[in-house]
Amino acid sequence: MLRFSANLGFLWTDRALPDAIRAAGAAGFAAVECHWPYDVAVEDMRAALAETGLPMLGLNTRRGRPGENGLSALPGRQAEAIAAVDEALSYSAAIGAEAVHVMAGNATGAAAHAAFVETLRHACAAAQGRMILIEPLNPHDAPGYFLTTTAQAAAIIEEVGAPNLKLMFDCYHVQRVEGDVIHRLEALLPLIGHIQIASVPDRGPPDHGELNYPHIWAVLERLGWTRPIGAEYNPGGDTDATLGWMNGGCGGRGQ
């Protein structure tokens, strides 16, 4: 049975992060993930995770200055990018998070590509058993972001050549840019470390819109996907009121 992870960058954002973890546990999620937890004391995060028994799947490197959306592909900013990676790896180790999403930032061109590859090689070598994730973002939501397609991500993963570098496959972003989500899931499965979901095009709960998520659930079960799937959607209000998609079909914690 499929299981789901609550992305606390979107869900229960009206609460402090430790309390959002508790809310996810009460709602029946099997895991949690977050964006930028660095202002929250490690001890508070550990306490909430221990209380709920939920694993923290991952967190992001810092976004940098306003409008940068990451540092790792910004030419001339390598020292800051590596410091952000090291910070994320340290925090993730302290709370037992399984992965770090290395944010590329808004950039383009060969120098940006080289900078991103260099930072990713450092991240993968320093990860100490944790997964490093990269995620293509669509230009409607993230204009100017360096990484935009699964093909670009797959080529970078091959170039870096580290077994712990994986693709974060967000069905919402992939559909907005490339479409053909089912076939891309099937083709890219060996490279995928994490899957996220939201409706298209409004990025609401995955119970309406262009993507037929019950069909995607069936495909993922056929493919043998076992990791929790990240619910990264805009609830548009009370998060608890939007969870029928999870409770009505596949379960939360599962087996």
> Catalytic residue numbers?
135, 232
Cβ-based burial of 67 (10 A; exposed 0-12, middle 13-18, buried ≥19):
exposed
Contact 69, 142 (CB under 8 A): yes
Question: What's the one-letter identity of residue 34?
Answer: C
CA 70 – CA 123 distance, rounded (Å): 14
C-alpha closest to that of 68 among 132, 134, 10, 145: 145
Contact 246, 28 (CB under 8 A): yes
DSSP string over 222-244: HHT--SPEEE----SS-GGGGTH
CA atoms within 13 A on the CB side of 179: 1
